Amino acid sequence: MFDQLKGMAEQVMSGNVDQQQVQQAASDHLDSMDQGEIADHLQTAASNMQNQGQDGLAQQAMGLVSQLKSGGDAKSAVVQFIASNPQVLQHFAPSFAQGILSRL
């Protein structure tokens, strides 16, 4: 199972999976979560991105965290962020990334 998920992650991050499929998988996964939970996962990912020198993506993620924490419905923006930048999945907690990858 782990090797299968690792293979899917590599395909997604390399751009070999259709963006629309990633978008649908992310949407399905985020629909099962509340905004606070999404914000927590996104904040962790943003910290990881910043530690890896991906400041632009980290800044975008933190902007989404702010929207989520202020009560704005930013789930669709988070889905679009992930679909447009599938490489960010490597910065999320494994359980979060697995929730998306298992839907592909």
Cα 73–chain centre separation: 16
Supply the pTM of this predicted model.
0.88
pLDDT at position 64:
96
Residue-wise pLDDT tens digits, 28-73: 999 999 999 999 999 999 999 999 999 999 999 999 999 999 988 7
Both tokens of 12, joined, read 């997604």
* Residue 12: pLDDT over 90: no
Q: What percent of the chain has pLDDT over 70?
A: 88
* Residue 13: pLDDT over 80: no
The residue ranking higher by pLDDT, 104 or 15, is: 104
Q: Are the beta carbons of 39 and 65 closer than 8 angstroms?
A: yes
Distance CA 16, CA 3 (A): 17
Domain boundaries, the chain: 20-101
